[in-house]
Amino acid sequence: MTKIACSTYSFQQLMDLGELTQFQTLEKAQKLGFDAIEIVGLEPAEGQTEEVYVQELKAELDRLNFPITSFTFSADLLNGCEGDSVAEVNRIKKMIDYAAVLGAPRVRHDATWGVVGKTFEQVLPELAVLCREIASYGESKGIQTTVENHGFFAQDSLRMEALYAAVDHPNFKLLVDMGNFLCVDELSVDAISRLARVAGYVHLKDFHVKSGNQPNPGTGFFQSRGGNYLRGAIVGHGEVPVAQCLSILKNQGYTGDFAIEFEGIEDNIKGLEISLENARNYLSEN
């Protein structure tokens, strides 16, 4: 059955204020009505090891009887670990081991934020080899590996499609974030239409958009690769045609899970409540 998960990153506003810890977001998400959680990175208490913290997260998931849809973490296969790709891949494998403890069916690792002076096409062969090694390791643990359209460099749908084709591994899929395509000034409908068939997981995200030829709208906005202004929005309140994207996914056979990743400046809890309500309505209509 398709689940709508809440990304722990959606609580970043409250975590930054010290009102919630990452650990506490699990129960909070369940109380808000989400079907599952997506854990983003690890934020252990001061002096606590990652290994101990992962065991505590697993115990909390079990106590709540709350599924996890993905263990999501940052990576850079070309620049991480001070440019040591072998060390970065080994670090990612350790994170996959954590995912196995957590009971996550998949992980998301980034590809790269880019290399100065090199095009995507130039680094694609190396990225493919490294992603394939990670996918093979994930397969040995029963965990699907994904890369998200994220980070400006490996973000356009054509680049993501090329990466998927180059990796060419049955355990490798794409995490398709319908909002993130706006970060490279690409229409979400076009991108989702291209990638729906190779999606292993989907983020529901929305953005308010202002043209880059207008003055900076101020607090809360950041610029896309092409200079347009974006601000995180409640799902359904921004410019991303979420319902249409969901229809495309359904029509192309996607039956997997979703996660809401809320980045708005609105009240954290209210923003998530409305986002979840809208997402459920959109899914029921498709």
Which pLDDT does position 230 carry in this prediction? 99
Strand partners for 71 = 39, 107
Please write the tens of the pLDDT for every residue from 218-273: 999 999 999 999 999 999 999 999 999 999 999 999 999 999 999 999 999 999 99
Which pLDDT does position 195 carry in this prediction? 99
Cα-only R_g, the chain: 18
Q: How confident is the model at residue 1 (pLDDT cuts 50, 70, 90)?
A: confident
- What would the two tokens of residue 118 be? 């090199």
Residue 52 CA to residue 181 CA, distance in Å, equals 36
Please write the tens of the pLDDT for every residue from 164-196: 999 999 999 999 999 999 999 999 999 999 999
| pLDDT of 217 higher than 90 | yes
> What domains, with CATH codes, occur in the chain?
4-208+235-285 (3.20.20.150)
Residue 234 CA to residue 236 CA, distance in Å, equals 6
Q: How confident is the model at residue 286 (pLDDT cuts 50, 70, 90)?
A: confident
pTM: 0.97
Residue 108 CA to residue 87 CA, distance in Å, equals 18
Q: How confident is the model at residue 61 (pLDDT cuts 50, 70, 90)?
A: very high
Which pLDDT does position 211 carry in this prediction? 98
Residue type, 284: S
